[in-house]
A and B are shown apart, each in its own frame.
Chain A
Amino acid sequence: MAKPDFEIPELKLDTEVPALKEGTMAHSSPFIAKPEHQEPLGFPGELVEDWHDRAIGKMGDLLGKYRGLQVYLDSCVKCGSCTDKCHYFLGTSDPKNMPVGRQDLLRKVYRRYFTFAGKYFPWLVGAEDLTRETLDEWYSYYHQCSQCRRCSVFCPYGIDTAEISMAAREILDDVGMGQKYCNEIIAKVFRIGNNLGLPEPALADTLEGLEEDVLEDDGVDVKYPLDVKGADILLVTPSADFFAEPHVDGLIGYGKVFHEAGLSWTLSSHASEAANFGMFIGSYENMRNVSMRIREAALDLGVKRIVFGECGHAWRVAYSFLNTLAGPFDFLDPKYPVPQHILEVTHDLIQRDAIKLDPSANDDMILTFHDSCNVARATRMGPKPGGQFTIPREVIKASVNRFVDMAPETIHDSTYCCGGGGGLLTDDLMELRVKGAVPRMDALKRVIEEDGVTHMAAICAICKSQFTKVLPYYGMGMDMIVSVHQLVSNAIVLGAKK
Chain B
Amino acid sequence: MTFLFATLFYISLGVLIVGVALKIRQYWKTPAPLKIPTMPAPTTQAGVVFRMAREVILFESLFRSTKWTWMFGWMFHFGLLLAFVRHLRYVMSPDFILWPLINNWLVQFAGQYASLMILFGLLGLLARRIFVDRVRYISAPSDYLMLILLLVITVSGIMMSFVTPIDIVSLKAFMMDLITLDSGHELPVSVPLVIHLGLVALLALIFPFSKLLHAPGLFFSPSRNQVDNPRERRHISDWAKKLES
Residues of A within 8 A of B (CB): 17, 19-20, 63-68, 70-72, 74-85, 95, 98, 100-101, 104, 115-117, 123-126, 149, 152-160, 163, 284-285, 288, 319-321, 323-324, 327-328, 337-339, 376-380, 384-386, 388, 413
A385→B39 contact, CB < 8 A:
yes
B138→A66 contact, CB < 8 A:
no
A160→B223 contact, CB < 8 A:
yes
A375 to chain B, nearest CB (A): 9
- Residues of chain B in range 25-72 having any CB-CB distance to chain A below 8 Å: 26-27, 30-36, 38-43, 55, 59, 61-62, 64-66, 69
B61→A156 contact, CB < 8 A:
yes
A157→B224 contact, CB < 8 A:
yes
Of B39, B206, B210, which contacts A413 at CB under 8 A?
B39
Q: Which 6 A/B pairs are nearest by Cβ-Cβ distance?
A: A75-B217, A158-B223, A126-B140, A385-B40, A154-B65, A80-B135
Pairs across A and B, CB under 8 Å, 5 listed: A19-B133, A101-B138, A321-B35, A380-B40, A386-B40
B211→A76 contact, CB < 8 A:
yes
Complex: A104 Cα to B133 Cα, angstroms: 16
B236 CB contacts on chain A under 8 angstroms: 324
A288 CB contacts on chain B under 8 angstroms: 240, 243
B145, CB-defined interface residue at 8 Å: yes
Residue of A nearest to B133 (CB): A20
B239, CB-defined interface residue at 8 Å: yes
Of B209, B234, B239, which contacts A324 at CB under 8 A?
B234
B39→A83 contact, CB < 8 A:
no
Q: Given contacts A154-B64, A163-B36, A319-B230, is CB(A68)–CB(B222) below 8 Å?
A: yes
Complex: A124 Cα to B146 Cα, angstroms: 11
Complex: A324 Cα to B236 Cα, angstroms: 6
A81→B211 contact, CB < 8 A:
no
A37 to chain B, nearest CB (A): 23
B240→A284 contact, CB < 8 A:
yes
B128→A324 contact, CB < 8 A:
no
A153→B38 contact, CB < 8 A:
yes
Q: Contacts A78-B211, A81-B65, A124-B140 known; list 14 others, CB within 8 Å.
A: A65-B31, A67-B31, A71-B222, A75-B213, A80-B66, A81-B66, A98-B137, A125-B141, A288-B243, A321-B35, A323-B231, A338-B231, A339-B231, A380-B40
B97, CB-defined interface residue at 8 Å: no
Residue of A nearest to B42 (CB): A385
Complex: A125 Cα to B32 Cα, angstroms: 27
Complex: A67 Cα to B138 Cα, angstroms: 24
B30 CB contacts on chain A under 8 angstroms: 63-67, 70
A395 to chain B, nearest CB (A): 18
A84 CB contacts on chain B under 8 angstroms: 134
B211→A77 contact, CB < 8 A:
yes
Complex: A338 Cα to B233 Cα, angstroms: 11
B221, CB-defined interface residue at 8 Å: yes
B39→A79 contact, CB < 8 A:
no
B214→A319 contact, CB < 8 A:
no
B222 CB contacts on chain A under 8 angstroms: 67-68, 71, 158
A157→B214 contact, CB < 8 A:
yes
B73→A79 contact, CB < 8 A:
yes
B220, CB-defined interface residue at 8 Å: yes
B104, CB-defined interface residue at 8 Å: no
A154→B69 contact, CB < 8 A:
no
